[in-house]
Amino acid sequence: MLASAISALVLAATASAHIVISYPGWRGNNLITNETFPYGMQWTYPCGGTPVTGNRTYWPTTGGALAFQPGWFRGHASAFIYVNMGFGDDGPDGGPANMSFPVIHPFQILGPSNNPYPGTVCLPQVPLPKNMTVQPGDNATIQVVELAAHGAALYSCVDITFLEPGDERIAEVNATNCYNSTEIGAADIYTITTRESGSDEYVSAADPALSLSVFGAPLLGWLPLLGAGIWAVL
Ligand SMILES: *[C@@H]1O[C@H](CO)[C@@H](O)[C@H](O)[C@H]1NC(C)=O
Ligand SMILES: *[C@@H]1O[C@H](CO)[C@@H](O)[C@H](O)[C@H]1NC(C)=O
Ligand SMILES: *[C@@H]1O[C@H](CO)[C@@H](O)[C@H](O)[C@H]1NC(C)=O
Ligand SMILES: *[C@@H]1O[C@H](CO)[C@@H](O)[C@H](O)[C@H]1NC(C)=O
Ligand SMILES: *[C@@H]1O[C@H](CO)[C@@H](O)[C@H](O)[C@H]1NC(C)=O
Ligand SMILES: *[C@@H]1O[C@H](CO)[C@@H](O)[C@H](O)[C@H]1NC(C)=O
Ligand SMILES: *[C@@H]1O[C@H](CO)[C@@H](O)[C@H](O)[C@H]1NC(C)=O
């Protein structure tokens, strides 16, 4: 079904790249290029050109599932994926003022090719931001960012209202609406510090003093364990 939907969209549009949030839903179709969005809606921060919506979907107060289809249109043989949340209604569109609360470590997706491809990625338990607690009835927005190989980002969002886990108004998560397709691989992203802030000393990868991190979280403790395996993804 996705494959045929993709062909239809590819015929209908000329833009490259794009992402669809399939669970728990999205603000609406922003796979659009027109006079208002001559480069394509999804390149627009923070939510791909879609303002906050009234048709919120329900999501557990303890965090929950997120599924998306990253391969609409060309240009995503690989991409980095970020997931953030925003809270409050102080933003220019009456939604969150910012989407500055990351909820996962970014990771890379590995598509089968640079052409449009079907398939989904499922994150079964996306947590709330660290130290954040919410009450049933509170609102938030989940933002999925797909960072293309050239560094520009595509945005798509879904507006949610929190409910107690297990509330029957939360759409069931199952192997039909949340699964990882075989054709979309994944990779962890690491950085290696080559010079600390405040230091003039450069560190080479062979130096035992190097500092390895998964996007900000120091990994020094793991270093001996990771050993050779890690170099494959760098
Ligand atoms: C909200 O409404 C838009 C426009 O009808 C629709 O495309 C979108 O799927 C809806 N989102 C949810 C989460 O129901
Ligand atoms: C372009 O598409 C968006 C989203 O559907 C819409 O809000 C906007 O009015 C459209 N612009 C034009 C010029 O049709
Ligand atoms: C959540 O958003 C809905 C509109 O989508 C609004 O009616 C409701 O008052 C909001 N809830 C809170 C706690 O702000
Ligand atoms: C981001 O939004 C939150 C509200 O959710 C607010 O407390 C915070 O100050 C905002 N941060 C910035 C940098 O605007
Ligand atoms: C899908 O792949 C992502 C990235 O590797 C992983 O975090 C997630 O747990 C996987 N989902 C399932 C349902 O196994
Ligand atoms: C979370 O709270 C703990 C204890 O107050 C604090 O040490 C930690 O820095 C906080 N983490 C974040 C990401 O704010
Ligand atoms: C999976 O859950 C969805 C609702 O999110 C439901 O429509 C669908 O029937 C379920 N599929 C199976 C196989 O249970």
- Measured by CA distance, the residue closest to atom 4 of ligand 6 is 131
The pLDDT of 138-150, averaged and rounded, is 96
Q: What is the pLDDT of residues 185-219, one digit of tens each?
A: 999 999 999 999 999 999 876 666 667 777 666 65
Torsion of CA 90, 125, 168, 157, to 10 degrees: 40
Q: Which residues of 184-196 are buried (b: 16+ CB within 10 A; e: fewer)?
A: beeeeeeeeeeee
Taking CA atoms, 156 is separated from 21, 174, 227, in Å, by: 7, 22, 36
Distance 175 CA to ligand 3 centre (A): 31
pTM: 0.88
Q: Tokens in use for 135? A: 């009450």
Q: How far is the CA of 152 from the centre of ligand 2 (A)?
A: 22
Give residue 12's pLDDT. Answer: 39
Q: What pLDDT sits at residue 4? A: 43
- pLDDT score of 217: 67
Mean pLDDT to the nearest integer, 133-147? 97
Ligand 1 atom index nearest CA of 159 = 13
Are 68 and 144 in contact, with CB atoms under 8 Å apart?
yes
More confident residue, 141 or 207: 141
Q: How many angstroms separate the Cα of 148 from the Cα of each of 81, 170, 207, 217, 227?
A: 9, 32, 32, 23, 29
pLDDT attached to residue 20:
95
Cα(59) to centroid(ligand 3), Å: 14
**What are the pLDDT digits (tens) for 11-24?**
334 334 589 999 99
- pLDDT at residue 73 in the model: 86
Helices assigned H by DSSP within the chain:
2-12, 223-226
pLDDT tens digit sequence for 30-83 = 999 999 999 999 999 999 999 999 999 999 999 999 999 999 888 889 999 999
Residue 2 is predicted with a pLDDT of 46
**d(CA 212, ligand 1 centre) in Å:** 41
Q: Nearest CA to 86 among 42, 144, 24?
A: 144
Closest ligand, as measured to the CA of 104: 5
Q: Which ligand is nearest to the CA of 128?
A: 6
pLDDT in tens, 149-193: 999 999 999 999 999 999 999 999 999 999 999 999 999 999 999
Res 14: pLDDT: 38
**Confidence check: pLDDT of 147 > 80:** yes
Mutate to test the pocket of ligand 1, among 47, 55, 56 (most ligand atoms within 8 A of CB): 55
| pLDDT score, position 212 | 77
User: Going from the N-terminus, what domains does the chain have, and what CATH number goes with each?
Assistant: 2-233 (2.60.40.3880)
Q: Are 48 and 156 in contact (CB under 8 A)?
A: yes
Give the model confidence (pLDDT) of 93-107 as tens digits.
Answer: 999 999 999 999 999
The ligand placed nearest to the CA atom of residue 32 is 2
**Residue 40: both structure tokens together:** 């394509």
Which of 66-70, 83-87, 223-227 has the lowest average pLDDT? 223-227
Nearest atom, ligand 3, residue 139 CA? 1
Provide the H-helix boundaries in 146-203: none
Centre of ligand 6 from the C-alpha of residue 89, in Å: 24
